[in-house]
Structure 1
Amino acid sequence: MSKFLNELKLTKQDLMINGEKVETDNYAPLYSPYSGEEITQIAMADKALTLQAVDAAYHARGVMAKMPAYQRAEILEKVVVLLKLRADEAAEIISRESAKPIAFAKGEVARTIETYKFSAEEAKRIHGETIPFDAATGGVGRIGYTVREPIGVIGAITPFNFPMNLVAHKVGPAIAAGNTIVLKPASQTPLSALFIAELFEEAGLPAGVLNVVTGPGGIVGDAIVEDDRVRMVTFTGSPSVGIGIRNKAGLKKTTLELGSNSALIIDKDINIDEIIDRCIMGAFSNQGQVCISLQRVYAHEDVYGEFVAKFTEAAKGLKIGDPLDPDTYISALISKGEAERVLGWIEETKDSDATITAGGKLQGGILEPTIITDADHSLKLSCQEAFAPIVVVNKVRSVEEAIEQVNDSRFGLQAGIYTNNVKNALYASRELHVGGVMINDVPTFRVDQMPYGGVKESGTGREGIKYAIEEMTELKLVVWNQN
């Protein structure tokens, strides 16, 4: 066990404000979602301490705004080096606090390293453009250009499912752009954020630039969102919370990455054997607790039977158990309450024509990978976000019918289609009402430099370092009159 993890049991985990650890009056136990054992005690901030963190970020904003791009890039590069050295430790932290199987936790750490690397590179590429003023009769004799300036204090609220990489998607571009941050990590997964804050301190980030405030969302989150000194809120989580943030944020900028029930279309000309492993990953990695997890499959009637049979067989072969076992593919959901919710949704299907071909029950407290066929669209498993290892597979007669089914959703984050027909691929890319269309891949595909975000109730704004920096800066126009 690593030094950081050894210290967890011996010390309480304090807030990180203005470069210092800050104690609170109240601490709450953090339990393992898998074993139920207590991992450590986490500080519970109140409104006053949250405002203290905002105050620290507000006063540090001038330091960051004036810091040259190469220095911001150097700090981010140092974090990359430090995280590479402690990658195994970081993966174990993720696995212990979230029950993410260690193989997937290591993958998350690798992506986090890339995300900070991209942030370091993009810090050097923040630029504006020149404007041809003489294109207008009134603009003759003038030259002008745009510059991008840091927005100031950014409030970042992150989820439990990628506790290190989704922190990186907010902290990395914020620092690259010269902003300061008040970060509220998910209550179940604060350790990843506190670990990263230590690395940034070691890398030389000035005090007050990154502040980590743990505690209840209704207290800490609301204080961040409602403070006028916070100029932008970036949030990943549920639609209901995201809508509440939007309502409270006023004229602040908001980037909201919300829910989804991502879908995949399988055309009639596809070799099913070639896509099963990819579909298993898309549906069941991280217990399906992925915003773009494959939740709905619409398979052409010519391949439907073969797909269901082979997909079911593969799902039944996945190893369930301890997240720290390198062979484990499926472990516990983030809480017992989540498991009970999903079991209720599965029970709802038993009063319909749907068929459970795999899973559907708990095994040692862990929800088995579950496949349900012939599910009516009105069932919660079809129309809401499951955030669990559950997939609905339905039969369609054409790609056009499948696209109608995919679009019949409150959400629109990403969708995928497997097809060898160029016309069908182009038609899908044009007609699918989502933020990203994956041709010949599952909707669960993401690399960290691509623009990522959705439409409808899947949110507003885009992540992906370059695109996040655009959200986290203000465009200023400068015009010189030469007349």
Structure 2
Amino acid sequence: MEKTIKIIFPYDQSLVKELPLIDKSDVEKVLTIAQNLFEDQSNWIPAYKRIEILEKTAFLMKERSEELIHLAISEGGKPYKDSKAEIVRAIKGVKLAAEHISQLKGEQIPMGLTEAALNRIAFTTKEPIGIVAAVSAFNHPLNLAVHQIATAIAAGCPVVFKPAGTTPLSGLALAEILKEAGLPEGWLQVVLCDNETAELLVTDKRVHFLSFIGSAKVGWYLKSKLAPGTRSALEHGGAAPVIVESDADFTEMIPDLVKGGFYHAGQVCVSVQKVYVNEEICDRFTAQFSEATKKLIVGNPFDETTDVGALITPKEVDRVEEWVNEAVAKGAKVITGGKRISDTCFEPTVLFNPSEDSKVSTHEIFGPVVCIYPFTDRDEAIKKANALDVHFQAAVFTKNVDIALDTVKKLNATAVMVNDHTAFRVDWMPFGGRDASGIGMGGISYSINEMTREKMTVFKSKFL
């Protein structure tokens, strides 16, 4: 009997679509198609053609942007205004991928620096790395698909894309658009499968590169199972810390941090989670931050006034509720929120001074909860901010340039925002975690470069 997966609208749990899953017996066919395309270089798509395909893809996406917005909302539950921003980003991402193709170039390596290196000229060129297996997450179903698919196509690699089981429709829509834009058959295969089948696929020795966005537990496990020589980029989450000094500008800071904390109900890998506030202004900060949080509208993501939608599944609401209750039992004070609204929505919640061993302090919450911790010594606050194994993006709010530079230097993060929230991102900047938060670097151009490898050519001639 054919296995299927049901796509559910997170807000009211209504059925959106039911789709078939592939099983282990289909993996061989999928990889053979990709291998045959890559091994015969006459199949490779020339650079000008890749540019044409991606440019037309961006054009078609823009034409169908409203359709893509509604599709993303129906499967992911992100509010309309944020889903609209995601689709705009995704279109820009495809354009960035097309533009970067012209930058895939090598360099001349100097010869003649020793007697043994006389009469030679050497240069490097960039080649596609090979078959890319991409495993994606649910929280940005179209934009993440672009970051894994458009980059592979730009690099010249056949790609097998496994979207999150909860949000596959945006990836499938992108695949249809790419096909319409002229992408030859087989260069993109979207597969829906269970975890065992996915593991069989990505750990096959024919896969040259694994792009994984999702939980650290799964990502590091898959990396440990990769075939020798398979490269990888893993993007996991963090518990994004913020340092707020006494001279911070409240007018700019409060709306920024509220957006960074509750965007997509906190289901963002760099969502504001732990805010360390100088004791001198902590009461004022807590009052203003909680007042702004209370004004957020929680509701149906199709309503254009909604600020915070549903969590991806009711199970996640249960988990967030358990973590908040545990924090309260251990001494945290609920400033606002703290309770479920329904089976699918949780109140935007502000907790004051949870214990250091509470789950909200030690794990990525991935829900609409922000924790505030007062401090008297900034170095101690930074030490606490760095204490976890996960290090991704962080932030500091101050008008003192020396304090800003000192904090940027001391925070363990791949990126530190000064006077901006931790979830800031544009798709042409490097983006990724360090330590337990990931390996490799995302961002359109950075991903494309990771999906290529260098080849050096050395000519020897007495005329050189």
Is this a same-fold pair by TM over 0.5? yes
8 Å CA contact retained: 2:328, 2:354 = no
Determine which of 384, 393, 401 is the counterpart of 2:372: 393
1:84 shift after superposition: 0.1
| Structure 1 position 398, deviation (Å) | 3.4
Aligned-residue RMSD, C-alpha: 1.4
Asked if structure 2 preserves the Cα contact closer than 8 Å seen for 1:356 and 1:372, the reply is: yes
Shift of residue 399 of structure 1? Answer: 2.8
Q: Which residue of 2 aligns with 1:9?
A: none
Equivalent in the alignment of 2:299: 321
What CA distance in whole angstroms lies between the structure 1 residues aligned with 2:114 and 2:325? Answer: 66
Aligned match of 2:326: 348
What SS is found at the alignment partner of 1:445? coil
CA drift of 1:54 comes to 1.8
Give the corresponding residue for 1:91.
69
Indicate the residue corresponding to 2:398 in structure 1: 419
Return the alpha-carbon distance in structure 2 between the equivalents of residues 357 and 136 of structure 1. Answer: 70
Q: Does 1:146 align with 2:124?
A: yes
* Residue in structure 2 matched with residue 5 of structure 1 by the alignment: none
Equivalent pair of 1:272/1:303 in contact (CA under 8 Å): no
Distance 1:438 1:64 in 2: 46
Report what 1:112 is aligned to: 90
**Structure 2 match to 1:451:** 430
State the Cα distance separating 1:64 from its structure 2 match: 8.2
CA contact (8 A) 1:111 1:165 kept: yes
Residues 1:255 and 2:250 are matched in the alignment: no
| Corresponding residue of 1:55 | 32
- Unaligned segments of structure 2, at least 5 residues: none
SS of the residue corresponding to residue 342 of structure 1 reads: helix
Asked if the contact 1:349/1:375 (under 8 Å) is kept, the reply is yes
User: Aligned partners of 2:42, 2:278: CA distance in 1, in Å?
Assistant: 54
Match of 1:40 among 13, 17, 37: 17
Per mean C-alpha deviation after superposition, the further-off stretch among 188-197 and 44-53 is 44-53
Aligned letter for 1:46?
D
Question: Is the aligned partner of 1:198 residue 2:173?
Answer: no
> Which string of whole-angstrom CA distances, capped at 9 and with x for unpartnered residues, describes residues 206-236 of structure 1?
00000000121222x1122121111111000
The 8 Å contact of residues 362 and 388 in structure 2, kept in 1 or not, is answered as: yes
Q: Is the deviation greater in 45-54 or in 199-208?
A: 45-54
How far, CA to CA, are the matches of 2:44 and 2:36 in structure 1?
13
- The reply to whether residue 165 of structure 1 matches residue 125 of structure 2 is no
Query: What is residue 242 of structure 1 aligned with on the other side?
Result: 219
Percent identical across equivalent pairs?
Answer: 36
1:402 aligned residue: 381
Determine if contact 1:272/1:306 at 8 Å carries over to the other structure: no
TM-superposed CA distance for 1:93, in Å, is 0.5
Structure 2 match to 1:177? 155
Question: Does the CA-based 8 Å contact 2:107-2:125 persist in structure 1?
Answer: yes
Displacement of 1:65 in angstroms is: 6.6
Conserved in 2, the CA contact under 8 Å of 1:64 and 1:180? Answer: no
- Aligned-pair distance for 1:50? 2.8
Matched AA of 2:201: I
Do the aligned residues in 2 keep the contact of 1:64 with 1:209 (CA within 8 Å)? no
Per-residue CA distance 1:432-454 (angstroms, 9 max, x = gap): 11111112211101000111111
Deviation at residue 481 of structure 1 after TM alignment: 1.7
Matched, 1:372 2:351: yes
Q: Does 1:82 align with 2:60?
A: yes
Q: 1:36 to 1:133 in 2, by over 3 A?
A: same
Q: Hey, what does 2:360 align to over in structure 1?
A: 381
- Aligned in 2, Cα 1:63/1:277: closer, same or farther, shift over 3 Å? farther
